[in-house]
Amino acid sequence: MDRHERAGSPLDLNGAQVYPEYLDPAAQAALVAALRDVVAQAPLFSPETRRGKKMSVAMTSAGRYGWYSDRSRGYRYERQHPEGGAWPPIPDQVLGIWRAVAPGARDPDCCLVNVYREGAKMGLHQDRDEADFTQPVVSVSLGDEALFRIGGTERGGRTQSAWLRSGDVLVMGGDARLAYHGVDRIKFGTSTLLKGGGRINLTLRVVD
């Protein structure tokens, strides 16, 4: 384990596992620098939902696949950026986090990069566009605090909420792999990691 990673006992959040402050400030800054290279190769864009509404987050991806959505074909993975060209590789720092908190899992095929600016949010949803639900989903938080909400595998059930802070890592596996989850709001200005404020969330998934 890298000296900048601090993996104590995880906290349970409705079946998901949260590693608070897993990345120290130096590791967070190094990861943001690596993500700038990703964005330089695969610029941020704002996809549409199946109903044709623009999402409030900007996003891009790294890995074999990138996540995409539009009105005509809905939610899916694509091998190329919407402007053309393959997605850049997943940064080594990100793969290191995955391998440490998800030992035994196959390496991820996709690292989705979501950028939340002031007012952005993400409604409750399931991650179910993948082929193998035995593989976990790993999320890394960078920047401003986010109010994360997670429920069960049925829409409309009881949910639990917690603030995710910069450097936190969350793992959704086992019974929590198909849990409904989302981000209700961002506490803008709670971190100085990102110039101009905001939050980056990395979501790592095995696609095939």
Q: Which residues are paired to 60 by β-bridges?
A: 113
pLDDT band at residue 3 using 50, 70 and 90 as cut-offs: very low
Name, in order, each residue with C-beta under 8 angstroms of 118's C-beta and a sequence gap of 6 or more.
186, 188, 197, 198
The structure tokens listed for 113 are: 């990069």
- pLDDT of residue 24 exceeding 80, the answer is yes
Region 180-187: mean pLDDT is: 96
Long-range contacts of 33-38 (CB under 8 A, 24+ apart): 34/91, 34/92, 34/93, 34/94, 35/91, 35/113, 35/200, 35/202, 37/88, 37/91, 38/62, 38/88, 38/91, 38/113
Say whether 67 sits in a helix, a strand or coil: strand
Fold classification of 11-205 (topology level) = Jelly Rolls (2.60.120)
% pLDDT > 90, the chain: 86
- pLDDT of residue 1 exceeding 60, the answer is no
Q: Where are the domains of the chain?
A: 11-205
Contact at 8 Å (CB) between 50 and 116? no
Over the chain, what is the mean pLDDT?
Answer: 94
pLDDT score, position 103 = 96
Distances (CA, A) of 168 to 19, 165, 186: 6, 6, 15
pLDDT score, position 2 = 54
Report the helix count and the strand count for the chain, using DSSP H and E.
Answer: 2, 13
Region 30-42: mean pLDDT is: 98
- pLDDT of residue 137 exceeding 70, the answer is yes
Name, in order, each residue with C-beta under 8 angstroms of 156's C-beta and a sequence gap of 6 or more.
none
pLDDT tens, position by position, 74-121: 889 999 999 999 999 999 999 999 999 999 999 999 999 999 999 999
Higher confidence at residue 16 or residue 53? Answer: 16
pLDDT score, position 117 = 93
Contact at 8 Å (CB) between 59 and 114? yes
Higher confidence at residue 1 or residue 130? Answer: 130
Contact at 8 Å (CB) between 144 and 187? yes
pLDDT score, position 5 = 61
pLDDT score, position 52 = 76
